[in-house]
Every structure is written in structure tokens, then in C-alpha cells.
Structure 1
Amino acid sequence: MSAILDIQNLSVSFGDKEVVSQLSLSLEAGKTTAIVGESGSGKSVTSLAIMGLLRASIAADQLSFQGINLLSISEEEHRKLRGSGMAMIFQEPMTALNPSMRCGDQVAEIILQHTNLNRKEAMERALELFKEVQIPNPAEKLKAWPHEMSGGQRQRVMIAMALACSPQLLIADEPTTALDVTVQKEILKLINDLKTKRNMAVLFITHDLGVVAEVADDVLVMYRGQMKEFGTVDQVLYHSKDAYTQGLLECRPPLENRPKRLTTVADVMEKRTVNRQEVHSDFQRIEKQDPLLEIDNLEKWFPAGKTSLFGTAEVYKAVNQVSVKLYPGETLGLVGESGCGKSTLSRCLVHLHEANAGEIRWKGKDITHAKGKELRALRKEIQMIFQDPFASLNPRSNVSQILTEPMLVHGLFKGQRKERAKYLLKRVGLSTEALHKYPHEFSGGQRQRIGIARALAVEPELLICDESVSALDVSVQAQVLNLLNELKEEFGFSYLFISHDLSVVKYMSDHLMVMRAGLLEEYGRAEEVYKNPTSAYTAKLIESIPKINS
């Protein structure tokens, strides 16, 4: 069978910097090839070069799509191929979708651009596509704006747009990275089903080898622009020969045990001896203590946008009668899908939201309505590490200012703030040279380390990690999780660790709570919740975790 896509010795350069070097692959109809690697490995650059969306120097012995030489065609010819012959699903649908256009109009726009259908026919075709990608209430959702859709629904709209003109090649660039495990499973199944039904070739880009095991026929592993390994899923995942591939496989948090330290890619590539000692939570010690934090029937409401016949505003209970305890020195894991109330609960604890009902007690004292000096003192003791380190760091401040500002606000370390900032940087694994740099000069993992250092600056007793590793590659994620555990051991603080990734939460946690639609679905010791869930919803979350079967 002839290849839909044929790449031989592709190289891509920005100025003097070569970011993809001598890459070769071919892809047939009805097959999925996954490109795997960390951020900066050249995965997305390769896909953009195929799509003709790159302003760079591109050279290849062969770069052809259905026999068409992509290097010799004009920009207009390449534009006509996009959408009709080849299409792309991007990582972040909220960014990729036009916020000023209704979702149905965005799909219809593609159809009108590449076919002879009129607007009415294009909207009918868009409705068919919404049904095909299983968007609930498709006729209603055609009229919805992107912000009115959930993350999974927005990604389905992106898939509908990509399929609008029946392309022969579908490029999916990290299409499930930002999604919950249950939604991720649905999207992966959908892409697989559509590939089979339409006999498409799929180029699937990801950093998660667990996802690769679910979708791919062949796997290409990239590292710093070069191909490290290529073969079938069985060859690469179960009989890998390259140290980098083995490192990617080993740095994933294991589900069957809980090592004290996760293996990193660097450990494997540099052949370091890794201590695989397991850790077990000391529940006798933990549960005998007085709770550090107690949440009792907590509720947080938001207006639902509707008013009843008698003028009473309806409310949506984002957090609904949640009760839980967090003990000194422990990690309490909080898991659930987007919209379940995880982040709202954490923001109530630090008074970024004010609770509507219930009680929050800190060291036995009611802090539900803390204000003024009491609230400022509380914020020194409870700090947050946010999901997006780029958005949570001031782009106009250098690292020295970012780290010393909390000390200044709370009147700590007078005359020693610069030295304290240097110590914190070293402790999170960064050079003191970083003090005079700005956030945009760092990688995602480095920015998250700066966010951790900032949280540590005021010596808190509780750190709330709100999806703090969700945006990171699995290799960088392992490094940050190791760092968080080392810091907890050294400084003796507690964590509220929030994530939609149950494998990460299970690895980090002593106790585990599961939230769904604002309610506490399940609570217990992490290992017991994972092995014997009492809730069908928790069991569904566990079953949805992408696994590489040994």
C-alpha cells in the first residue's frame, strides 16, 4: 500500500538553530503513528512543517502527501490542502477556537471554504459532524459559544472541524493533554473509531506513552530534534532499546507500588543507581494527631443566571456540603473531573472565594470569615502553587523580585531576603544566576520550580498544589514530584494535592478524596481507595487511566 505521508531526512532550522534533524517516517491509510517526546523535542515543529504553517528553513529528500511534493507547492496550494486533504487538531481548543464565533459557524466556515455547498447545506453538514463526534444536544450546541462548552466538548468541536472536508491525514497535536482521564478516554476512542470508519492516516503527537499504548500502531520517539527509536507499539513500549525511551517509560508514577523517589529520564540515560525503596504512610501517627485543617459542610454557590417566577435567583453549588480533615505532615489528594469543585474548594481555603455555608477550621480555630490581619497571617501559613506557572508569575518582575515580594509583604527575613531567595533557588534545583532573569526566559518545568520557591518563601505549614504538574511533560513531572516530596520531608509541611490525574494523586497521597459535581464522592486511605473503590464513579476514574500493560 502506498504511503499517504512520506518523509525522508526532514530537517527544520530557525536561523542557525536546527530543531529537527534528518527525520524519516511514512504513514499509510488506516494507520496511526505516534510521535513521542518531551517539550522542545521537535514534535509540533514536524507537524507544522507538514501543514505548511511554519516560517522556517525546511529541507528534506522527500516531504510528500499523496504524491504531492509539499516543498515545491505554493502557499495557496498548501492552503487548499489544509482542511480538505490534511487537517490538524490542536492541544488547547479554547485557544484554537474563535471566541467571537458560535461553534457551528466555525465548522461551517471550513465547509464553505473548501466545498461548493451553500450556507444552509454547510450548517446541515456541521450538525451531522456534531452528531458523529458525539456532542450532546448537537442542534443546540451548534449555536453555543466556545466558552459555553466544556473542555471535552470543545475538543470534539475541533475534531468536527478537522473532519469537515474528509481529510486523508489527521494530525492530532497533544489533543488530550489538558483533559480529564475519563474525557481523554472518550476522545481517544473517538479518534480511533473515526480513523477506522474513514480509513484515515493519523499522526498522533504526545508526551504520554500510556496514551500511545491506547491509540498507536507505530511509535517514533524524538529527543532534541532527532529520532531516537522507531517501531511498532510492541517493539518500542515493551522491547525498547534506547535509554531515552526507557527513561520515558520508567518516569511515569507506578500504579502497583509507591517508590520513595520516581525514576527520571536523566537517571536512566546517565545510568544512575536508583533507590527503589517503597514508602508506606504511617497512619497510626497521622490519624492520632489533631487535624491541621478541618472542613465541615462547606458550600460555595455561584449565580446560575436564571431567576425564578418570584424573583429568587437560582444558584449553582460548585462545592456542596463537603467535610474532610487534613492532618499535620500528610498529603491529602483531591481528584475529580473538571468542574467538580476542586479548585473552588482550594480557593475557599485561602479566601480567594468566600464560602456561603459551612465552616473552615485551621488548627481548631474558625477561619471561615477571616479578614484583615487575621487573613494576612493565614495566607502566610497557607500558600498555593498554581497550575500554569507562566500565568501565575508576574512577567514584569525578575525572579529576585518574585521571591522577595512575599517576604516583604509579611515582614520576614529583613536584611536577608536576597540570601533567602538564593537559598530557595538552590533548594528547588535552579542556579542563582536565575535571580536576574524574567519568567519568559525559563522552561515550563523551571517556571514551576520558581512557583514552588515563591510558595516556600514565607515558610508555610500547608501548600495547596492546584494541578501543579498537569501542564508538564512526564519527565519534568517526575522531577517536580520528587522535589515536592523532598521538600515535605525537609520542611515538615502538609500538602493538599489537587489533580485530575489519579495515578499522580495516588502516588503522592496518604489520604485521598474524590469529588464529583461539588459533592464529596469518596474519602479514605489512598491505597485502599485505589484498590477497593466504594463509588462507581471512582472505579470509572481508575479504569480510565491510560496503562502500559506489562
Structure 2
Amino acid sequence: MLKVSDLTVSFSGNPVVSGICFSLMPGEILGFVGESGSGKSVTSLALMGLLPPNAKVEGGSASFSTEKGQVDLLKVDSKTHRQIRGQGIAMIFQEPQTSLNPSMICGKQISEAVELHTNLRGAKAKERCIQLLAEMQLTDPAKVYSSYPHQLSGGQKQRVMIAMALAGNPRILIADEPTTALDVTVQKSILQLLKDIRQRHQIGIIFITHDLSVVAEVADRIMVMQQGQIVEQGTVTEIFNNPTHPYTRRLIEFRKRINQPITETAGVTNEPEHIFRVNSISVEYGSNSWFKRGFKAISDVSFTLFKGETLGLVGESGSGKSTIGRTLLKLIETQSGTIEYNGEPLSSLKGSNLLNFRREVQFIFQDPYSSLNPRLTIGQALMEPFIYHGLGGKREARKAVEELLQMVSLPADSINRYPHEFSGGQRQRIVIARALVLKPKILVCDEVLSALDVSTQAQMLDLLQELKKGMGLTYLFISHDLSVVRSICSRVIVLNRGSIEEQGPAEEIFSRPQSVYTQLLIDAIPGKSL
């Protein structure tokens, strides 16, 4: 279906991918694997004719089989490329939330693709849209058709994107990180859906991911990329059982290390000291009076966070994990129940006591890019809380920031640079440094590793463990990635629809789950055989 030879692409004269060679067969799923910046997405964008203005194809060929014969995707004009896109090759982009128009119902967006690539119009086009949504195994296709993107879950939005990509009956589907940031059960269903589509339509799929566990679950062959070049390719069995390149071996070792359970007791003694005691709390959204019932995000949740431990909160999207994290910081008020911090009711904290609490308990948000002010340098962003809390003047603040940047392994010149000048892993280190600038006692980590590649995840886990030992920190670690939770947490709480399904020592939860729901989550972990 597709044969790529010696593809070379440069950005502003600097080569970013070079000498890329691979082929794709009908009904095959080819996995592109590599760290962020390895050239996976650039390769696919070159094939789609969607490279940015500062990018240039320096050489190579990409022979694509069409009904009219062979076409070189790297040499056709923009009009031909537009005809090929959607009908010949379609792409599922990484983030459906930003790829879908928020002001247009999903059905209309799919209908545009259907009308563009077929002769269907009006009622027949709508019928085709609903048929596509039904094929995506959505329980109520007509409702999804009439829904806006914000009314759908992450998994539903991803299925809408796949339906849109299939509207033109393409021969090749490029899936760029289609399961990033999805919880394990939704991820498993999306992977199965792609395999079913491959089988049903005999289309070729290029599956781009940084997650080795996912690619092992879905791909027939794997192409490993590093710094814009292919360092190794072969079948899944060959790559995972007998990797020949040091980089591939390193990626596999990182994933195995993340899959290993924690070996230490996370600092909990025989008589652990409790920091937070949560008693039967409930949180409801959208309720402004007793006339109007809202949505219950968490219901009757009770647990204790002990000093020096890493407590994991796991569950599917919408299970209430982030809501619990925010209630501990008084960012969300509870409708019932109580929270105690060091034996004092959280609701009674006011004035200087509340300010001290804000210093001692810090929140690390999921997306570091959106939680950093793009107009502030990293130095300004990190010095701001130090000065606000009266810990010293500008000179002391700068010295503290320089020490923190060194602690999280960032170069000294980072202090004068802006957020957009850093990689995803570096930005995550920056927001960790910002949380540490006030020398807190507790960090609430909300999905801090969800969008990072496997080697960066391993580095961040090592960093969190080192900081914990060096600073005596306590973590509440929120994640949908059960492999990561198992590798860092001493205890785990499993949430399901706002209620605690079960809780206990991590190894007991993972090796002997008592709940059917927990067992389903564990069974959905991809690549468990790695």
C-alpha cells in the first residue's frame, strides 16, 4: 500500500528526520515508537502534506497505491494531496478536544467529511454518520450525533474522531497517539476497535505512540525511531524478545522498571502519623438549591493519608480522583463529611493558618504547559510564590530557584527562558520545582506522567523518589496508569463512580484484587507480558 524510501525533512534548514525507509501492507498495523522529538509525527505529517511552513522535504519518495496507479506523496501538488487526504489516507490526531470544533455538534463535523468524500447529502449523509458512530460501538449513536464535544467523555470524543477519519473510506489510517491520557479500560476498547476496523476493512494502520506497552498490544510490526532516524524495525516478537539496538533495549528496560512493584515501605512506621483524615465526604456539582439535584462527583469517601507514604488514587476518567485531590486543598467545598489536617478541621483554617496550609500542601496539575504563564520566564514563575509568601526578597528567591532547578536536573539558563522553549518532560520538572519552592510537606500529583514518553516517565519517577527521601515528602499520587501507580505507591485506593471500591497495600490490590471492577482495571493494563 505504501513504500517510503529515504524520507528526509528539515525545519528551517535543520534536519529533523533523515533516511526514513519502511513499507505498509494491507490489513497491517505498523507501530512507530520513540521518545518525544524522535520524528514520529513529522514523518506522518510529511505523508499527509501537512508539514508547517518552516518545514521542507529535502529528499526521498513515498509511493502510495491508488485506484489510478502509484503516486509519490512527497512530490504531488497541494490539490492532489487534498484529494488523497480523507479518501486515500486519513489521520486521527492526538488530542480530540482540540481537534474538534467546540461550537459545532459532532454529527455536523462528521457530516462535513462524509459530504466532502462521497455523493451523500442531507438525510442520507446523516444516516451514514449515525452508521459510522454505531460502527464505533457507541451505545447511543443518535445522541452522540447531536452532542457537542464538551458533552462527551474522552473515549467518546476519540471514537468520533475515528468515525470522521473513516468517513471517506480511506485505505490507510494514521493514528497519532490516539490513546494518550485515556484510562486503561477506555484505552483497551479503543485499541480493540482499531484492530476490528483493520480486520473489517483491510486498511493499513500506522500507529504512533511513545508507550511500548500499547504498541505491543496492537501492532504487527514495530519501527523504533530515535533522533529522526529508524534504529530498528521488526515484528513485535522480534523487537521485544531480541532487541538489537541499545536504544530499543533501553526503552524496554525503562518499561520493565516502571512495571515493577515498589520495594520500600514509603517511610511508614509501625505507628504511622496521619496528616489527612477524610471522613465520609461527598461533593456535588451543579446543585444550587434543594430544588435542583446536581451530579455527585464523590460520595461517602473516607481514607487517611499517613506521613511519608505515597498513596495512589486510581480509577477511570470521571471516577472522582481529581475532585478528591482538590478537596484536600480547599479548592472545592464538600457538601457533607469532614477533612482533618494534622488533627484540625480543614474548614476552620483561616488567616495565617490557612496561608501556612497553602505553603505546606502543594498541587501539581496534569498539564504543565497550561499551568505555566506563557508570558513569564521560568525564573519569574518560580520566584513569584516565594516572594508572595514572604520567604525572602528577590535575591533570596533567585538563589532558591537556582538550587531547585539544579535539584530537578534543569540547566542553569532555564531561569531566563519561557515555557514554550522546553520539552514536555522539562516543563513537568519546572512545575515540580514550582511546587517545591515553598518547601511543602505534601504534594498532590494529578496525572503528572500521563503524556510523557517511557524514558521521561522513568526519570520523573526516580526524581519523585529522590525528592521524597531528601525532603521527607508525602505524596497523594493520582493516575489512571496502573503500572506507574504500582511502581511508586505503597497503598492504593480504587475509585469507581465517586465511591471507594477497595483500598489497601499496593501489592495486595494488584495481586489479589477483591473487587470485580479492580480486576477489570488490572486486566485492561496493556503489555503485561513485557
Q: Does 1:99 align with 2:102?
A: yes
Partner of 2:143 in structure 1? 140
Indicate the residue corresponding to 1:57 in structure 2: 56
Determine whether 1:11 maps to 2:14.
Answer: no
What is the match of residue 353 of structure 2?
A: 374
Paired residue type of 1:154: K
Task: Report the Cα distance in structure 1 between the residues aligned to 2:476 and 2:73, rounded to whole angstroms.
Answer: 50
Structure 2 residue aligned with 1:202:
205
Q: Is the 8 A contact 2:259 2:487 kept in 1?
A: no
Helix, strand or coil at the partner of 2:478 = strand
Please state how far the C-alpha of 1:299 moved relative to its aligned partner. 1.1
**8 A contact 1:384–1:465 mirrored in 2:** yes
Question: In structure 2, what is the Cα distance between the partners aligned to 1:318 and 1:430?
Answer: 38
| Equivalent position SS for 1:545 | coil
Measured in 2, the distance between the counterparts of 1:53 and 1:450 equals: 31
Map residues 333-482 of structure 1 onto 2, 5 A cutoff: 333-368=312-347, 370-414=349-393, 416-482=396-462
Q: Aligned to 2:206, what secondary structure does the other structure show?
A: strand
Q: Give the counterpart letter for 2:79 in structure 1.
A: E
Paired amino acid for 2:345 = D
Match of 1:41 among 21, 38, 59: 38
SS class of match (1:313) = coil
- Distance in 2, matches of 1:328 and 1:377, equals 17
Alignment match, 1:108:
111
**Contact 2:257-2:458 within 8 A present in 1 as well:** no
**Could you tell me how far 1:290 is from its partner in structure 2?**
2.8
CA drift at 1:46: 0.6
> 1:66-89 deviations in whole A, cap 9, x for unaligned?
011223322111101111111011
Deviation at 1:256, TM superposition (A): 6.5
User: How much does 1:287 deviate?
Assistant: 5.0
1:273 equivalent in structure 2: none
Q: After superposition, what is the alpha-carbon deviation per residue over 1:198-244, rounded to whole angstroms, capped at 9, x for unaligned?
A: 00000110011111111111110000101100111111111100011
Q: How far is 1:373 from its partner? A: 2.9
Alpha-carbon spacing, 1:334–1:282, altered in 2? closer, same or farther (3 Å): closer
Secondary structure of the residue aligned to 1:175 is coil
Alignment partners' CA distance in 1, 2:471 and 2:177: 36
Residue 491 of structure 1 aligns with an amino acid whose one-letter code is: M
2:181 match: 178
Alignment-mate amino acid for residue 34 of structure 1: G
The one-letter amino acid of 1:505's match is V
TM-score, length-scaled by structure 2 = 0.96
- Aligned position for 1:272: none
The one-letter amino acid paired with 1:27 is L
Quote the residue 2:302 is aligned against.
323
Quick check: 1:509 aligned with 2:489? yes
The aligned counterpart of 1:280 is 264
CA contact (8 A) 1:254 1:503 kept: no
Per mean C-alpha deviation after superposition, the further-off stretch among 431-440 and 405-414 is 405-414
CA contact (8 A) 1:11 1:23 kept: yes
Instruction: Give distance in 1, aligned partners of 2:227 and 2:318.
Output: 36
For 2:278, give the aligned amino acid: I
Aligned to 1:269: none
What's the offset of the Cα at 1:516? 1.1
Q: What is the CA-CA distance between 1:540 and the residue it aligns to?
A: 0.7
Aligned to 2:281: 298
- Give the Cα–Cα distance (whole angstroms) in 1 for the partners of residues 348 and 368 of structure 2: 29
RMSD of aligned C-alpha atoms?
Answer: 1.6
Secondary structure at the counterpart of residue 7 of structure 2: strand
Distance 1:454 1:433, change over 3 A: same
Q: CA deviation at 1:515?
A: 0.8
Deviation larger for 166-175 or 66-75: 66-75
Is residue 2:525 matched to residue 1:545?
yes
Write out per-residue CA displacement over residues 422-457 of structure 1, whole angstroms, 9 at most, x where no aligned residue. Answer: 111111111221111111111111111111111111
Q: Deviations over 1:495-549 (max 9, x none)?
A: 0000000110111111110111111111101111111111111111111111152
Tell me whether 1:237 sits opposite 2:237 in the alignment: no
Distance in 1 between residues matched to 2:347 and 2:517, nearest whole Å: 30
Name which of structure 1's ranges 73-82 and 167-176 shifts more when overlaid on structure 2.
Answer: 73-82
Tell me how many residue pairs correspond in the alignment: 523
Cα distance between partner residues in 2 of 1:250 and 1:149: 37
**SS class of match (2:80):** helix
Question: Which letter does structure 2 place at the counterpart of 1:125?
Answer: R
Say which SS state the counterpart of residue 445 (structure 1) adopts.
helix
- C-alpha distance in structure 2 between counterparts of 1:60 and 1:515, whole Å: 52
What is the rounded CA distance, in whole Å, between the counterparts of 1:290 and 1:47 in structure 2?
53
Distance 1:121 1:91 in 2: 30
Establish whether residue 68 from structure 1 lines up as the match of residue 48 from structure 2: no
**Does the CA contact (< 8 Å) of 2:60 and 2:74 recur in 1?**
no
CA distance in 2, matches of 1:346, 1:256: 25
Rounded Cα–Cα distance in structure 2 between residues aligned with 1:249 and 1:171: 24
Please give the TM-score of this superposition, normalised by the length of structure 1: 0.93
Q: Is the 8 A contact 1:354 1:369 kept in 2?
A: no
**SS where residue 344 of structure 1 aligns?**
helix
Q: Which residue of 2 aligns with 1:24?
A: 21
Does residue 161 (structure 1) correspond to residue 161 (structure 2)? The answer is: no
1:406 maps to amino acid:
P
- Contact 2:311–2:493 (Cα < 8 Å) also in 1: yes
Q: Does 1:250 align with 2:253?
A: yes
Q: Among the aligned pairs, what percent are the same residue? A: 48
Map of 2:477 onto structure 1: 497
Hey, what's the Cα distance between the residues in 2 that align with 1:187 and 1:453?
A: 35
Return closer, same or farther for 1:145/1:287 CA change in 2, 3 Å cut-off: farther
* Structure 1 gap ranges (5+): 260-278
The one-letter amino acid paired with 1:428 is V
TM-superposed deviation, 1:403: 1.5
SS at match of 1:10: strand
Distance 1:240 1:342, change over 3 A: same
Give CA deviations for 1:378-415 in whole Å, capped at 9, x if unaligned. 11010011111111111111122112111112111445
Secondary structure of 2:444's partner?
A: strand
| Equivalent residue letter for 2:372 | L
Q: Per-residue deviation at 1:372?
A: 3.5
Matched to 2:371, the amino acid is: S
In 2: Cα distance, 1:132 partner to 1:26 partner: 28
Q: Deviations over 1:128-166 (max 9, x none)?
A: 101100112111111000110000000000010111121
